[in-house]
Amino acid sequence: MWYLRAAALLCLSWPATAACPPPQRQPRCPCYDFDGGLFVDCNTVNASEVGGALAQVHGPVKSLRVYELEPTLRELPAGFLGNGTVRELQISQSGLQRLSELSLAGGGAVLQSVALVRGKLSSVPRAALAGLPQLVKLDLEHNEIRLLESYDFHGLKLVSLDLKSNGIETVSEYAFAGLEETLVSLNAAKNQLTLFPLSALAPAKSTHHTEPRLESHRQDGTRRLQQV
Ligand SMILES: *[C@@H]1O[C@H](CO)[C@@H](O)[C@H](O)[C@H]1NC(C)=O
Ligand SMILES: *[C@@H]1O[C@H](CO)[C@@H](O)[C@H](O)[C@H]1NC(C)=O
Q: Give the model confidence (pLDDT) of 151-200 as tens digits.
A: 999 999 999 999 999 999 999 989 999 998 999 999 999 999 877 666 66
CB-ligand 1 contact for 112 (6 Å cutoff): no
* Residue 2 within any structural domain of the chain: no
User: How long a stretch of residues is the chain?
Assistant: 228
* Residue 158 within any structural domain of the chain: yes
Q: Which residues contact 135 (CB under 8 A, 6 or more apart)?
A: 111, 112, 113, 114, 129, 156, 157, 158
Average pLDDT, the chain: 82
* pLDDT tens by residue, 16-55: 444 899 888 888 999 999 888 999 999 999 999 999 999 9
Task: Determine the average pLDDT of the residues in 137-146.
Answer: 98
CB-ligand 1 contact for 52 (6 Å cutoff): no
CB-ligand 1 contact for 44 (6 Å cutoff): no
* Residue 178 within any structural domain of the chain: yes
* Residue 191 within any structural domain of the chain: yes
**pLDDT value at position 143?**
98
CB-ligand 2 contact for 83 (6 Å cutoff): yes
Q: Which residue owns the Cα nearest ligand 1 atom 13?
A: 48
Structurally, the chain folds into a number of domains equal to 1
**pLDDT value at position 203?**
52
* Residue 10 within any structural domain of the chain: no
Contact (Cβ atoms closer than 8 angstroms) between residue 26 and residue 52: yes
* Residue 126 within any structural domain of the chain: yes
Residue 18: alpha-carbon gap to chain centroid: 26
Sign of CA dihedral 53, 132, 202, 193: positive
CATH no. for residue 212?
3.80.10.10
* Residue 11 within any structural domain of the chain: no
User: Which range marks the domain in which residue 51 is found?
Assistant: 17-227
Contact (Cβ atoms closer than 8 angstroms) between residue 158 and residue 132: no
